[in-house]
Chains A and B, each alone.
Chain A
Amino acid sequence: MLLQTKKLCKQFGGIYALKDIDFEIENGEVLGLVGENGAGKSTLIKILTGVYRLDSGEILWEGNPAEIHNPCQSRDLGINVIHQDRNLVPSFNGIENVFLGLPYEKKGGVAVDWKKMKQRVTAVMEELGIDIDLNIPAALLTPPQKTMLEIVRAMMTRSRLLILDEPTASLTDREAEMLFETIEGLKKKGTSILYVTHRMDEIFRLTDRITVFKNGQLVNTVQTADVNKEQIISMMTDNWVSEKMKTARQFGGSRLDVAHLSSRDGIIKDASFNARAGEILGIFGLGGSGRTELLECVYGHRSVAGGTVAIDHKPVGKASPANSLKQGVVLISEDRRGKALVGSLNVKQNIVLSTIDHYARFGVVDEKKEVSDARDQIDRLSIKTEGPKQPVLQLSGGNQQKVVFAKALLSEPKVLLCDEPTQAVDVKTRQEIHKLLRKRADDGNAVVFVSSDLKEMLEVADNVLIMAGGKTKELFANDGLTAEQVLACCYAD
């Protein structure tokens, strides 16, 4: 047994991210780790690599208790991690990148011995059967070459456990194939590999065993040969079934039409959907499927490469947030602190941020009207604040989110795009937000709702659209829909 955890627990703000995890990885095996969004995979990786500290429990390394308090201790044990967003210095060449964090070879104790360093890197590359040009800066390498370079770096020291976190997220099939060969090579040399991915076919192709996480708990560990995809998916979810609709909802005409939308950065490849008056359209997808990016494209915040967006059957024209707002589209961003709130301003100033021109006559702001409208919103959404002039960051997370909603509602949107609107808010606020979305829809507007919480999705949405790999897939009516159905569609390759 290489690594073992006993009763590992980690909480964030009173909520268990991991609970009583008894996790094992053998010497020289490839272990797949799967689970829904927020199941605790990333938290486990961060504990094993010393980014987070565990609250309670024990880590055993080759049978002996091990302390991992920082990334250095983790690396000294022989644990290396390769993230989906690669950790290379773009302007450094291969050798410099491989030696990041390693002591440089020196000539006479002073001058860097580049020749010797190159020899060491080349030796490791030959051993792994990897061939990369070491003389060009990392920025010029292809995505798989970057991953390979990181593997080389990991193998420069005696790497016993290599953690790969969604390594193929940005690779083409052929590029992924190269990576798989390298992984098989590493396994033959006795390195253990923890492979974390959403892609089922890779799990079945590469792994010896599979560990399944659900809601911060370890559900099961199985021999890959003994199970099939459907069994794994059913282990990952509680299989909630959405309630039958009490009354058949009547939807009006289409308010938002999106056709064959693609983004310039290539994350959104082909997305089409429409949202009707009175409808809450849910968009569900696994991490990295492009939900956030799709909403940003529709809203005009992310550069669009092709496709059309129309509001009430009229093309929106120029893709910019200012124009979208004018046409009646509002985005509630998932990144509250980064993209929704201006932290240096107070509650009132944030609430009127999108609509400030309505309060200005010849450029001069009517502050009385501003304050009274802000107070109205504060009352309507029952925002807990000392008053409109309180700095917005002093509010709790849930109330900050209500401020974001207040700002959005003041512009009277016809189409409300909500990206993870209940993320990191308390239970009460969460329900209030759900009610608010329903009210918005009932008033004849369209609501597009993104959440990575499948249970919430089945509670809130009228229809659920699946996204995977930057494309919109199937559209389900949320009428007796099951979590398994949804996940099966997400995992279908």
Chain B
Amino acid sequence: MDKNRKLADFMRAYGTIFAGIIIVIAFSILSFDAFFTFGNFINITRQISLLVVIALGATLVMSVEEFDLSVGAMASLGGVVAARMAVSGMPMLLCFVFPVAICFVIGLLNGWIVTKFRVLSFITTLAMSTILGGFTFWFTGGATIFENIPRSFTFIGTKSLFSLPLLSLIMIFLTVLFWFVMRHTSFGRKLYAIGGNETASQISGIPVTFHKNMAFALCAALAALTGVLMASRLGSAHPTGGDGLFLQAYAAAFLGRTVFKEGVPNIWGTFVGAAILGILANGLTIMQVPTFMQDLLTGCIIILAVVVQKIGRGDAK
């Protein structure tokens, strides 16, 4: 009985990381030469960098118990705006900052609609996603932007520093930054308090509306940055290029909820979640498993992780 209890506690706290390690070991055994190399691990960090950045934003919004379904569309928009600006010869800094700033404002708008009119964030951001998708299509005429993109624009997305890709460094920097924000600043504390009990937070004098709006705005800004970085990496921008990241971002964040802090969205958890998804995709690709099988496996793993956690907490019926 006691032993079972301990096992349950262990699985609850570290089950997801444990599963991640098993996945790494499995791939290492099955395909040691290709998978278990320094080069490939560096490669994985680059592959997950975009996912991590967008998932950090999703984690912020989830920490106040809301959803932002427009992150994919924000990323697409950010990418094409940045690419178009780069093509027209604008200063590089502006190409990176302007799309992020625009989406920050759109995020504020999301937050304003949710907090002011008490509309479900699910509905608000779904509609916003549709609006942004339509706008992006109009803006690009539906075509991929790839001609005449200056090399300076692709610098960040493709170059490395001390054999570490710049994208990976950005990912690490942002992860540490937002971990610090959520863990050590009053802003982050208030977000968690609001997510835990909005009414109690309000009564305790926390400006709930402001903090929710900021969570939406930061989430949108990070999504736009993801889109810009993606365009920089690929040297092109597609009007639906970021859409696919949306589901992955929430998959990572939900996996992340099962790590470290039980049931609470948290930054390192999200990072681990994205890493597991990335390692899985990488390993399966190396083993030449078709994409549909990858999707199938990824979905199963997410359900498994969440179910195991629920059983551990004794929530299951």
Contact = CB atoms under 8 A, between A and B. Distances in A.
Contacts of A360: 185-186
A325 B204 CA distance: 8
B91 interface: no
A401 to B, nearest CB: 14
Given A342-B193, A344-B196, A356 B184 contact: no
Contacts of B184: 364-365, 367
A364 B195 CA distance: 20
A365 B206 contact: no
Interface in A304-337: 321-322, 324-326, 331, 333
A365 B185 contact: yes
Contact of A342 (B186, B200, B263): B200
B204 A365 contact: no
A333 B197 CA distance: 14
B13 to A, nearest CB: 14
Contacts of A354: 204-205
B187 interface: yes
B212 interface: no
A340 interface: yes
Identify whether the interface residues of B are mostly helix, strand, loop, or mixed: helix
B186 A321 contact: no
A82 interface: no
B84 interface: no
B207 A322 contact: yes
B190 interface: yes
B196 A321 contact: no
A322 B193 contact: no
Given A301-B203, A407-B204, A356 B197 contact: no
Contacts of A341: 197, 200
Given A342-B196, A343-B197, A345-B192, A353 B202 contact: no
B203 to A, nearest CB: 5
A146 to B, nearest CB: 24
Contact of A339 (B193, B200, B264): B200
Nearest to B183: A365
A333 to B, nearest CB: 6
Contacts of A365: 184-186, 189
Interface string B23-65: 0000000000000000000000000000000000000000000
A394 B197 CA distance: 17
B200 A340 contact: yes
B199 interface: yes
A411 B145 CA distance: 56
A151 B193 CA distance: 44
A299 B203 contact: yes
A359 B203 contact: no
B261 to A, nearest CB: 9
A408 to B, nearest CB: 9
Contacts of B202: 301, 321
B196 A364 contact: no
A364 B263 CA distance: 25
A364 B204 contact: no
Contacts of B197: 338-339, 341-344
Contacts of A367: 184
A363 B177 CA distance: 13
A342 B264 contact: no
A354 B201 CA distance: 8
Contacts of B187: 363
A85 interface: no
Interface string B74-92: 0000000000000000000
Contact of A322 (B185, B199, B205): B205
B203 A343 contact: no
Interface string A354-389: 101101100111010000000000000000000000
B312 to A, nearest CB: 15
Contacts of B263: 344
Interface string A382-410: 00000000000000000000000001000
A361 to B, nearest CB: 10
Contacts of A325: 204-205
A4 interface: no
Contacts of A338: 197, 199-200
Contact of B186 (A326, A344, A345, A363): A363
Interface string B256-273: 000000011000000000
A422 interface: no
Nearest to B186: A360
Contact of A344 (B192, B199, B203, B207): B192
Interface of A: 299, 301, 321-322, 324-326, 331, 333, 338-345, 349, 353-354, 356-357, 359-360, 363-365, 367, 407, 411
Interface of B: 184-187, 189-190, 192-193, 195-197, 199-207, 263-264
14 contacts: A299-B203, A322-B206, A325-B205, A333-B203, A338-B200, A341-B197, A342-B193, A342-B200, A344-B192, A344-B263, A345-B196, A353-B201, A360-B185, A364-B185
